[in-house]
C-alpha cells in the first residue's frame, strides 16, 4: 500500500479523527515495525506529535518533568535522571528532586517513557543530594497579590522577580516569578527556605525538594 492509497482511505473513512495522543501512540506502534533507515523521519514526527507537558501536573513525576530543560544545548538537561532511588530534573535555573522506585536511567520529560539504552549522557547536573537547610531561615507566607516585585531578565528578555523574605526579615532572595509558580504547581503547601540573595531558595514538602537560583534585579 502506498501513500496515495492511504490518503484516499483517510479522506473517506468514517472513523473519528485521532487525538494528538492517539496519533502519538500509533507512531510508537509503527516505530517498532519500520526499518532503521526511517529513524530520522520518525524522530521528526515524534517531535511534532509528542504530547506537551501538562501545565498543571497530575502526578509528582510530571511535576519533576516540568523542571527539565527544553532544547537546551546542554543536552543532559533535557531529560529526567534517576539514580539509586532519586529522580531529578533541572533546567539550569532550577532543580527538582523526589524519592522514587523507578529504575536507574534517563526518561523523556514529556512521556515519562525510558529513553533508549543506547543514549549515553555525561551527567553534569549540580549536586542534587538533600540541600542543607540548617543555616537557612524559614520564609514568611507568600501572597502573590501583595508580594514585592521587580524587573529582571531571562535569556535577555524582560521578566518579573518576586522577593522571598524570611519570617523575621533577616534574609531575603529574589527569584523568577514564573519559576516560583512552577515549583508550587503540584503541591503549594511546602515551606520555602532563604538565606541571602547569593544563595538559592529551597522549597521542601514531605515528598519533594526544589531549588531556585537567585536572579538579579534590572533597572526600570
pLDDT, residue 125, reads: 54
Round to whole Å and give the CA distance between 48 and 213: 31
Q: Give counts: helices (H), strands (E), the chain.
A: 5, 11
∠ CA 204-207-210 to the nearest 5 degrees? 40
**Is the backbone of residue 155 left (phi > 0), alpha (psi -120 to 50) or beta?**
left
Q: Which of 155, 160, 184, 156 is nearest to 174 (CA)?
A: 160
Task: Give me the pLDDT at residue 158, please.
Answer: 94
Hey, how many other C-beta atoms are within 10 angstroms of the C-beta on 86?
16
Give the C-alpha distances (Å, rounded to integers) separating 88 from 79, 148, 208: 9, 30, 10
Provide the pLDDT for residue 7.
47
For the record, the C-alpha cell of 79 comes out as 531529560
Nearest to 151 by CA among 161, 138, 143: 161
The ranges assigned to domains in the chain are 18-51, 53-128, 137-212
Per-residue pLDDT at 8: 42
Q: Give the pLDDT of residue 83.
A: 87
pLDDT at 67: 94
Question: What digits encode the pLDDT tens for the residues 167-214?
Answer: 887 889 999 999 999 999 999 999 999 987 678 899 999 999 999 999
Instruction: Specify burial of residue 27 (Cβ count, 10 A radius: 0-12, 13-18, 19+).
Output: middle
pLDDT computed for residue 204 by the predictor: 94
* Burial label, 182 (beta-carbon count in 10 A; 0-12, 13-18, 19+): buried
- Global pTM? 0.76
Phi/psi class of residue 84: alpha, beta or left (left: φ > 0; alpha: ψ in -120 to 50)? Answer: left
Point out the residues of the chain with pLDDT beneath 70: 1-14, 20, 31, 34, 36-53, 117-131, 197, 220
How far apart, in whole angstroms, are the C-alpha atoms of residue 59 and residue 67?
14
* Separation CA 66–CA 217 (nearest Å): 25
For residues 50 and 25, what is the distance between their CA atoms, to the nearest angstrom? 9
Amino acid at each position: 500500500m502506498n501513500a496515495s492509497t492511504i490518503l484516499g482511505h483517510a479522506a473517506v473513512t468514517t472513523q473519528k479523527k485521532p487525538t494528538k495522543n492517539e496519533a502519538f501512540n500509533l507512531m510508537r506502534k509503527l516505530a517498532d515495525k519500520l526499518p532503521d533507515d526511517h529513524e530520522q523521519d520518525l524522530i521528526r514526527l515524534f517531535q511534532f506529535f509528542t504530547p506537551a507537558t501538562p501545565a498543571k501536573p497530575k502526578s509528582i513525576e510530571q511535576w519533576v518533568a516540568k523542571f527539565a530543560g527544553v532544547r537546551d544545548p546542554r543536552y543532559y538537561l533535557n531529560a529526567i535522571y534517576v539514580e539509586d532511588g532519586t529522580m531529578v530534573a533541572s533546567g539550569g535555573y532550577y532543580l527538582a528532586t523526589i524519592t522514587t522506585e523507578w529504575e536507574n536511567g534517563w526518561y523523556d520529560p514529556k512521556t515519562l517513557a525510558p529513553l533508549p539504552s543506547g543514549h549515553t549522557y555525561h551527567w553534569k547536573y549540580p549536586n542534587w543530594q538533600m540541600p542543607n537547610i540548617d543555616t537557612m531561615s524559614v520564609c514568611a507566607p507568600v501572597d502573590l497579590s501583595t508580594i514585592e516585585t521587580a524587573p529582571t531578565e531571562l535569556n535577555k528578555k524582560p521578566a518579573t522577580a518576586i522577593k522571598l523574605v524570611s519570617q523575621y526579615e533577616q534574609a531575603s532572595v529574589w527569584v523568577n516569578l514564573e519559576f516560583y509558580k512552577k515549583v508550587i504547581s503540584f503541591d503549594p503547601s511546602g515551606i520555602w527556605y532563604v538565606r541571602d540573595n547569593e544563595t538559592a531558595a529551597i522549597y521542601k514538602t514531605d515528598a519533594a525538594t526544589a531549588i531556585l537560583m537567585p536572579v538579579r534585579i534590572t533597572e526600570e
